[in-house]
């Protein structure tokens, strides 16, 4: 009888464990934004962060568009950078609520991937094809030379030119 009770308890605990696991993303929490440049991978110097932040601030003051640069070393538990970037974009609320005028540049040196997310309010000015062109022609060549700052700065300036 004790053995049967033990097996029932064990079975109940096992089932409870299996069913309570759920989607690991539901328990995932994005880091809090620390500004418009969020260098979680520590790629940029303080001077470079300040330079990028100043470019973004001038643009935001002129247009109300919000731009975030985010460096990451992993997008786990997500399987693809696109999904991570989209959820990060929405969780942080990049762009004003009324205009949905945000842009996020999410990339990582370690993961060797980059994504530009664009809010609906700016999609007519910066289409996916244009964002891909900026990545492929402006940003990636600098990354290949090991110059992440120049790649991001030049890409940022092109993005701003498109959305102003």
d(CA 122, CA 87): 18
Peptide bond into 114 cis (omega under 30): no
For 7-61, write each residue's pLDDT tens digit.
Answer: 344 444 444 443 444 444 567 899 999 999 999 999 999 999 999 999 999 999 9
Summarize the confidence of residues 59-75 as an average pLDDT.
97
pLDDT at 151 over 60: yes
Question: Which residues sit opposite 102 in a β-bridge?
Answer: 66
How many alpha carbons lie under 13 Å from residue 103 in its C-beta half-sphere? Answer: 27
Domains of the chain with CATH codes: 33-163 (3.10.310.50)
Under a CB-based contact definition with an 8 Å cutoff, are residues 126 and 163 in contact? Answer: yes
């Amino acid at each position: 009888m004790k053995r049967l009770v033990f097996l029932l308890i064990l079975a109940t605990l096992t089932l409870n464990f299996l069913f309570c696991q759920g989607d690991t993303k539901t328990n995932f929490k994005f880091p809090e934004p620390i500004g418009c440049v969020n260098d979680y991978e520590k790629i940029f110097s303080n001077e470079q962060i300040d330079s990028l932040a100043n470019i973004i601030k001038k643009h935001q003051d002129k247009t109300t568009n919000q731009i975030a640069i985010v460096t990451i070393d992993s997008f786990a538990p997500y399987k693809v950078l696109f999904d991570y970037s989209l959820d990060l974009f929405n969780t942080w609320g990049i762009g004003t609520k009324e205009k949905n005028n945000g842009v996020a540049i999410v990339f990582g040196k370690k993961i060797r991937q980059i994504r530009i997310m664009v809010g609906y309010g700016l999609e007519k000015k910066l289409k996916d094809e244009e964002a891909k062109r900026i990545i492929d022609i402006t940003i990636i060549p600098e990354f290949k030379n090991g110059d992440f700052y120049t790649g991001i700065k030049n890409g940022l300036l092109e993005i701003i030119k498109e959305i102003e």
